[in-house]
Chains A and B, each alone.
Chain A
Amino acid sequence: MSGVLGRIRSGLFKRGTGILLGQTALVYLFLYIPIVVLVTLSFNDSRYAIVWQGFTTEWYAALLSGETVARVDPNAAWAALSNSVEIAAASVIISTVFGTMLAFALDRYEFPGKRLFTGVVFMPIIIPSIVMGISLLLFFNIVGMQLSIRTAVIGHVAFGISFVAVVVAARLQNFDRTLEEAAMDLGANELETFRYVTLPVIKPGVLAGALLAFAMSFDDYVVTFFIIGQENTLPIYFFGMVRQGISPGVNVIAALIVVSTMVLVGIAQWFQGPTW
């Protein structure tokens, strides 16, 4: 009995590579089939968006010419997109500068309460976004700040700093500090050393951190929903559309979002090597 089992087992392991390759392929299918189906259905010639009726680009044409398709108004989507870009750009600039400085402080200096402080830096990444969003809402209410795009930027910076700091700190760990000492010995001051020695070395880390902060901001629905007031961002607009059900218009918007972000990120990864 055990002999038979043993033979089956060793047979399995002998074909192990093949089995693992097959399993890997299945996971890739799992990850990509929904996206492929989504993009395909955006070309579906049917008002009822789910059953395939034939190929058409009429939804794209209609939306791009500014026509409303099944409640999806392209002008509202554009406005939401421009808000999203504005918020993401502003919060990325602030959180990249602050987060990089923070990573430096955590890498270079010992100070009392450092462990606790590091814990606080990780918290915005860890706590549920719903808690972060609602607590910011309560706070803005209490201090009497009008909810707007500005409050959304404030909230996004609060988690962006943490993402940037974690990514940059990882890079700094491998940084050879004798390079800085050499620059200082040759007469550079702190700022010059940073500008001409440190920054060029850690630049990939800073860029990766900024990219991550941008994606997190651009993609965020939950935190933004609570702290932006009456304004829309693309995720908030999209969520509202999805709530009303599947429709050709939503399919087109979704396909455009997913294809454009994946192409952009794919290009970034191509130049940077795998980054996460």
Chain B
Amino acid sequence: MGRDTKRSASGIDAALVRRLRRNQYTGAVVNLAPSAFWLGVFFLAPLAVMFLFSFGQRGAFGEVLLAPENLGLQQYREFFIPDDRSLIGGLWVTIAWAIEAIVPFELSLTSGQATPYVRLLFKSIGYGVVATVVSLVVGYPMAYYLGHLAPERYQNLLVVLVILPFWASFLVRIYAIQLLLSANSVLMNALAVLPGIGADVSLMNSRFAVLLGLVYIWIPFMILPVYASIEEIDFTYREAAMDLGADRLEAFVHVVFPLSKPGVMAGSVLVFIPSAGAYVIPELLGGTDSQMIGNLIADQFGSAGNWPLGAAASFVLMGVMLLSIAAYQRGGGELA
């Protein structure tokens, strides 16, 4: 009797197991569940909390007010709209200011100025763009050499030499830059050969230092994807182009470069995103005039004590990053 029920119970178990194993979703659920749980609870939920905070208000003692009557777009308004303006007027001033800043010639569309937050956001994007362009201009020729011209015996070694610094400690490498840019360093003594520069000059705490740090840290992220796509190019296309009368430059511009474009785009996104969102590099290498949006966020959650504004700034920054990824995907790029 007892044995019978036991057997039938295990029979039901076996049937259940068999049905579960046949079900198309079982494998997916089992494999997804741990990560979905972890990312849901310890990544998305915290972001949701922060998102909620970005609609809150700062109380008199720096606390965050989240009661329904306090919720609103006021932090985003403070971020984007200059004090004394209406919504439309403020938007116009911001856009006009941005156009004035971007066009290379003198143009006066507005007497007003964008909010300090918007100016900081633009500056951060500018740093990101400059770091990306410099990395591309410096990194592309090197990637071309590694991917196409380097003797095959040394190719792996040369690539590993690009990868190694990327694995070595980030903070230590920033400190190394600091050692070079400080007054009386080896570099400054070398530069003192030039007229008008003394060895006791320090290049630290400047925009130059921040940009140099960004390029130094992120340039492997440009070199490696470009190298990977150049290595895959079938260079007989280039020969074909030259047989058909293209000179070397034309063959490069019309054949080789377009074929390497996936690597260039991937590298640009990989350099731009961490550069625009940098926090440690401007903190350690920059001065008061070279802080970025990441520092603003940290300040709002620290000494400035306006958490809702910091939360709003975080989401504005992430919006910029999503836009750059969207642009990348529109251009035909794929994630990973």
What mask results when residues 243 to 272 of chain A are scored 1 for a CB within 8 Å of chain B, else 0?
100100011001001100110011001100
Instruction: Give the residues in chain B near A16, CB-CB below 8 Å.
Output: 248
Instruction: Give the residues in chain B near A51, CB-CB below 8 Å.
Output: 184
The interface stretch among B2-10, B99-107, B159-167 is B159-167
Provided the pairs A131-B50, A166-B336, A265-B168 are in contact, do residues A34 and B277 lie with their beta carbons within 8 angstroms? no
Q: Which of A246, A269, A274 counts the most chain B CB atoms within 10 A?
A: A274
Contact between chains at B176 and A35 (CB < 8 Å): yes
B77 at the interface (CB under 8 A from A): no
The interface stretch among A72-80, A174-182, A215-223 is A215-223
B146 at the interface (CB under 8 A from A): yes
Provided the pairs A102-B31, A138-B49, A250-B175 are in contact, do residues A169 and B249 lie with their beta carbons within 8 angstroms? no
Instruction: Name the CB-closest residue of A to B336.
Output: A166
Q: Which of A28, A31, A32 counts the most chain B CB atoms within 10 A?
A: A31
What mask results when residues 219 to 241 of chain B are scored 1 for a CB within 8 Å of chain A, else 0?
11001100000000000000000
A contact patch SS: helix
Instruction: Give the residues in chain A near B145, CB-CB below 8 Å.
Output: 17, 20-21, 23-24
In the complex, A21→B167 CA distance in Å? 24
A56 at the interface (CB under 8 A from B): no
The interface stretch among A59-67, A150-158, A195-203 is A150-158
Contact between chains at A123 and B43 (CB < 8 Å): yes
Instruction: Give the residues in chain A near B167, CB-CB below 8 Å.
Output: 215, 261-262, 265
Contact between chains at A31 and B162 (CB < 8 Å): yes
A70 at the interface (CB under 8 A from B): no
Contact between chains at B163 and A269 (CB < 8 Å): yes
In the complex, A215→B170 CA distance in Å? 10
Contact between chains at A219 and B169 (CB < 8 Å): yes
Provided the pairs A27-B142, A158-B38 are in contact, do residues A134 and B31 lie with their beta carbons within 8 angstroms? no
Q: Write the nearest CB–CB distance from B143 to chain A, whole angstroms.
A: 9
In the complex, A165→B77 CA distance in Å? 38
Instruction: Name the CB-closest residue of A to B335.
Output: A122
Contact between chains at B176 and A246 (CB < 8 Å): no
Instruction: Name the CB-closest residue of A to B40.
Output: A120
Q: Which of B43, B149, B161, B274 counts the most chain A CB atoms within 10 A?
A: B43
Q: How many residues of A contact B (CB 8 A)?
A: 92
Q: Write the nearest CB–CB distance from A33 to chain B, whole angstroms.
A: 8
Partner of B171, one of A35, A117, A239: A239
Contact between chains at B171 and A34 (CB < 8 Å): no
Partner of A10, one of B44, B166, B186, B248: B248
A235 at the interface (CB under 8 A from B): yes
Provided the pairs A135-B50, A239-B171, A257-B169 are in contact, do residues A9 and B249 lie with their beta carbons within 8 angstroms? yes
In the complex, A254→B298 CA distance in Å? 25
B303 at the interface (CB under 8 A from A): no
Query: Which A88-133 residues sit within 8 Å CB-CB of chain B?
Result: 97-99, 101-102, 104-105, 108-109, 111, 117-118, 120-124, 126-132
A139 at the interface (CB under 8 A from B): yes
Instruction: Name the CB-closest residue of A to B170.
Output: A219
What mask results when residues 127 to 171 of chain B are scored 1 for a CB within 8 Å of chain A, else 0?
000000000001101101110011000001011111111111111
Query: Which B10-49 residues sit within 8 Å CB-CB of chain A?
Result: 21, 24-25, 27-28, 30-32, 34-36, 38-39, 42-47, 49
Provided the pairs A23-B141, A37-B180 are in contact, do residues A134 and B28 lie with their beta carbons within 8 angstroms? no
Of the A-B pairs whose beta carbons lie under 8 Å apart in the complex, a sample of 27, sorted by A's number, is: A17-B149, A20-B144, A23-B145, A31-B216, A33-B180, A37-B179, A50-B179, A99-B35, A105-B32, A117-B36, A120-B39, A120-B44, A130-B277, A131-B318, A139-B49, A158-B43, A165-B35, A219-B171, A235-B170, A238-B171, A239-B284, A246-B179, A257-B169, A258-B168, A258-B173, A266-B160, A269-B163
